[in-house]
């Protein structure tokens, strides 16, 4: 699983990831996105359904990329904790 930190959200609710990072996350079992101490996790199956924007951006160093906007929905419970069964 790939872990990434995001400092700001687009329009206050979307996380923008580069297309090559999403491809890496699909191959490595998903992605964990952190923003303001809140965490969101996406599985490879969820990432495969996402479509990149049509606009190409030129990288500062080499190559180009597209952005994929994902609605940021933080996990309300810690995924490492078990649930209490009553």
Average per-residue pLDDT for the chain: 88
Number of domains in the chain: 1
Its pTM stands at 0.77
Q: Look at residue 28 and tell me if it is in a domain.
A: yes
Domain limits at 14? 2-71
Average pLDDT over residues 66-84: 78
Instruction: Report yes or no: 30 and 36 within 8 Å, Cβ to Cβ.
Output: no
Gap between the Cα atoms of 85 and 81, Å rounded = 12
Q: Look at residue 23 and tell me if it is in a domain.
A: yes
CA distances from 50 to 47, 68, 74 (A): 5, 7, 18
For residue 62, the model assigns a pLDDT of 85
> Does the pLDDT of residue 84 top 70, yes or no?
no
Q: Look at residue 86 and tell me if it is in a domain.
A: no
Residue 82's pLDDT band, with cuts at 50, 70 and 90, is low
Chain segment 2-14, per-residue pLDDT in tens: 999 999 999 999 9
Collect contacts of 21-30 with beta carbons under 8 A, ≥24 apart. Answer: 22/47, 22/50, 22/52, 22/68, 25/1, 28/1, 28/2, 29/1, 30/1, 30/2
Q: Look at residue 12 and tell me if it is in a domain.
A: yes
């Amino acid at each position: 699983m790939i872990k990434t930190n995001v400092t700001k959200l687009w329009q206050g609710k979307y996380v923008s990831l580069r297309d090559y990072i999403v491809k890496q996350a699909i191959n490595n079992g998903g992605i964990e996105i952190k923003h303001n101490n809140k965490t969101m996790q996406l599985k490879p199956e969820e990432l495969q359904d996402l479509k990149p924007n049509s606009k190409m951006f030129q990288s500062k160093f080499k190559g180009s990329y597209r952005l994929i906007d994902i609605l940021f929905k933080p996990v309300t419970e810690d995924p490492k904790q078990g649930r209490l069964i009553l």
